[in-house]
Structure 1
Amino acid sequence: MAAFQYEQGNVKVKITPAAEEGRANVFDRDILIYVLSQLMAAKNDGQEIGRRVQISAHDLLKATNRHTTGQAYATLRRALTRLQFTQIETNIHDHGIGEWRSISFITDARIVKEDSTGRLLSVELEMGDWLVKAIENKNVLTLHKAYFQLRKPLERRLYELARKHCGKQDVWRIGLDKLQLKTGSTSTPKEFKRLVKTICKADEDQSHMPDYRFRLIHDVLEIVPKDEFLDIYGDQPSSNLADTVRLSGNAYEKAREAAPTWDVYFLEQEWRMWMSEAPRHADGAFVGFCRKWYERKGNAP
């Protein structure tokens, strides 16, 4: 399996798979999510947390919607191997200083089982320090338990993007071309649109996607929080500017004029990530950002 590379602006990410088991996948990530949730709960209870974590194998398998049959050991071992040996390389630029870093999800893994029955007893992992730091800084989003019931990798990725970018906003929109980049999909644009449309149609019919409603309008995916999600999280104060700054519909039209050929929803996300404080006039600040973006970069590639 070849390495996967992603570029956005001057940020580059390269993911190199494990030699035998391949690259860590979206279902392997369930293990990380479960372990991080346990660490987050411990921190919220005032306990000290560290990189080394021991958890019940049975609880892990049940929580991540995995079988607890005799094949569980081999399946779990392969998943841990992928998580440990998948290597992530990235570059970070800040105030004229560039940094290259190579990291792993976990650095050590241990499974304990009974020899006579093959029953799994416990799993012990040593997490990457960057993951533990994310918890210590409370830079971890909560996920609905129904996330583990989503069987399509693209469904999971769309939900993750919704939690990160939509949050408690009234609506979040993104063009399909930028969405495909964020998901890492290698499908053709036509096939990718078909896949997204299928998920949106199923969500419209069955409402199976947790926390958010997903609708495809032409070549733009629109994501809206469900009422039950806002009932739980809507009244909580937010420190995320993306949850507090609102744009009018007119702002998007002016942004298109200011930065022709660019996806205004992509520019909106760039603007929100660039902000350090809420602007007094959001519409004007956003349009000004788009105008300067176009002056620097010209037409979209």
Structure 2
Amino acid sequence: MVGENTNHELLDALDPERSPLLPDRHPTTDLFVCDIFDAAPKGDMASMEHPIFSLSTKPDRRVRRYEHGHAWIEITPSVKGLATVHDRDVLIYCISQTIAALNEGKPVSKRLRLRAYDVLTATNRLTDGRGYDGLKAALERLLGTKIVTNITTGNREELDGFGLINSFKLVRQTREGRMQELEIELSDWVFNAIRAKEVLTLHRDYFRLRKPLERRMYELARKHCGTQAEWRIHLERLQKKCGSNSTLKEFRRLVGTIIAQDMEHQHFPDYSVSFDDDMVVFRNRVTMPALMRSAAAGREDEAALSLAPDTFDRARAVAGGYDVQWLYEQWQEFWCMNGKPELKNPDAAFIGFCKARAEKYPLPR
């Protein structure tokens, strides 16, 4: 049986005081004038709903088929194994950058040219040789994992076999062989979801969750609970939606460990997790941006960050033609996704954000 979270269980046993979250490997002192963190992390809803990615920490070469109602999906690995939940980070980064470009009215395509360092930093990965080797291995698994499904994205059904990405290319490398730039071409299935904006914003601490099962549980909670007060799912059903290969008894133990750690550390993003007999209960911590809660509830909530009335006039002077209300919403979402850090001068921070956005992404005149 392919192991799930085996290494993490061993490390937890060796160090009971270990935080369930990875350290923030790339803290920034200026969260609001920052290039690579501009785009809030976003996942496509189709792969958040269905168990496409492996939970294993070892090569998973099982062919899996998942059926739910009329929907079905079959996933076939390459010799290097199925793409993992951690490999999904690369897709999240690509989706986030493309959605940000769409929101700014920029043309987008399936082919993205990226700095490898930015991908590693934005997804909280190591930036030493291990990080670059891991990125290359992730790209190989994403390319090698083949999917056949009748699940639509962007109202299009792709019945041909396809990969999660169509291709990747290392554009430039250092003398030591470390990649600097890369090109990734997304599959039509993923790109259709992006163009239709069938995506959901993820908490940035998603990239700090150590265990693949925790990440998968968060994706499902984000998809099904959303901004509701709570979401309940039977343990056996959760196991199926997670794509776990464990026995039900072992799966209960793994989920129970996550629940116990969340009760102690309250580390699970956006939602608390608990058991109610054979039901797993996710309860909204109300940490998502006020903007998202307002839209879901059909009402206007009090702004999470209040600004002086003349701040918007000052912002317009540096915003290069952008709608400052839209910029305010983007800024507020970014603030929430980074844990609502204390700001000594929110008005100055917002004006700095507007100026940086206008300078980096100038609107056509």
Aligned to 2:137: 78
Instruction: Provide, for residues 231-255 of structure 1, a one-character-per-residue CA deviation record: whole Å limited to 9, x for no partner.
Output: 452112479xxxxxxxxxxxxxxxx
Aligned to 1:33: 92
Select which of 72, 78, 88 maps to 1:12. Answer: 72
Q: Is the 8 A contact 2:173 2:181 kept in 1?
A: no
Instruction: Provide, for residues 238-278 of structure 1, a one-character-per-residue CA deviation record: whole Å limited to 9, x for no partner.
Output: 79xxxxxxxxxxxxxxxxxxxxxxxxxxxxxxxxxxxxxxx
Q: 1:232 to 1:207 in 2, by over 3 A?
A: farther
Secondary structure at the counterpart of residue 46 of structure 1: coil
- TM-score (norm. length: structure 2): 0.61
Counterpart Cα distance in 1 of 2:124 and 2:97: 16
Counterpart Cα distance in 2 of 1:99 and 1:84: 17
Secondary structure at the counterpart of residue 150 of structure 2: strand
Aligned to 2:310: none
Q: Is the 8 A contact 2:172 2:182 kept in 1?
A: no
Counterpart Cα distance in 1 of 2:181 and 2:158: 37
Matched residues, percent identical? 44
Q: Which runs of 5+ in 2 are unaligned?
A: 1-60, 299-365
Counterpart Cα distance in 2 of 1:103 and 1:238: 38
Aligned to 1:90: 149
Q: CA deviation at 1:92?
A: 5.4
Q: Does 1:142 align with 2:197?
A: no
Instruction: Provide, for residues 51-104 of structure 1, a one-character-per-residue CA deviation record: whole Å limited to 9, x for no partner.
Output: 0001111010111222211233332222111101100112359xxxx9844221
Query: Partner amino acid for 1:18?
Result: S
Q: Is the 8 A contact 1:91 1:101 kept in 2?
A: no
Instruction: Provide, for residues 130-178 of structure 1, a one-character-per-residue CA deviation record: whole Å limited to 9, x for no partner.
Output: 2111111110011111000001111001100011000111111110111
Aligned to 1:218: 277
Q: Where do 4+ consecutive residues of structure 1 move more than 6 Å?
A: none
Q: Is the 8 A contact 1:176 1:221 kept in 2?
A: yes
Query: Partner amino acid for 2:127?
Result: T
Q: Which runs of 5+ in 1 are unaligned?
A: 240-301
1:232-251 mapped onto 2 (5 Å cutoff) = 232-237=291-296
Counterpart Cα distance in 1 of 2:124 and 2:151: 36
Counterpart Cα distance in 2 of 1:113 and 1:84: 19
Tell me how many residue pairs correspond in the alignment: 234
Counterpart Cα distance in 2 of 1:139 and 1:92: 13
1:79-228 mapped onto 2 (5 Å cutoff) = 79-91=138-150, 100-228=159-287
Query: Partner amino acid for 1:11?
Result: A
Aligned to 1:23: 82
Counterpart Cα distance in 1 of 2:188 and 2:198: 14
Counterpart Cα distance in 2 of 1:110 and 1:18: 18
Aligned to 1:246: none
Counterpart Cα distance in 1 of 2:253 and 2:171: 44
Q: CA RMSD in A?
A: 2.0
Q: 1:150 to 1:99 in 2, by over 3 A?
A: closer
Q: Is the 8 A contact 1:168 1:230 kept in 2?
A: no
Query: Partner amino acid for 2:166?
Result: T
Aligned to 1:57: 116
- TM-score (norm. length: structure 1): 0.73
Counterpart Cα distance in 1 of 2:115 and 2:172: 11
Aligned to 2:306: none
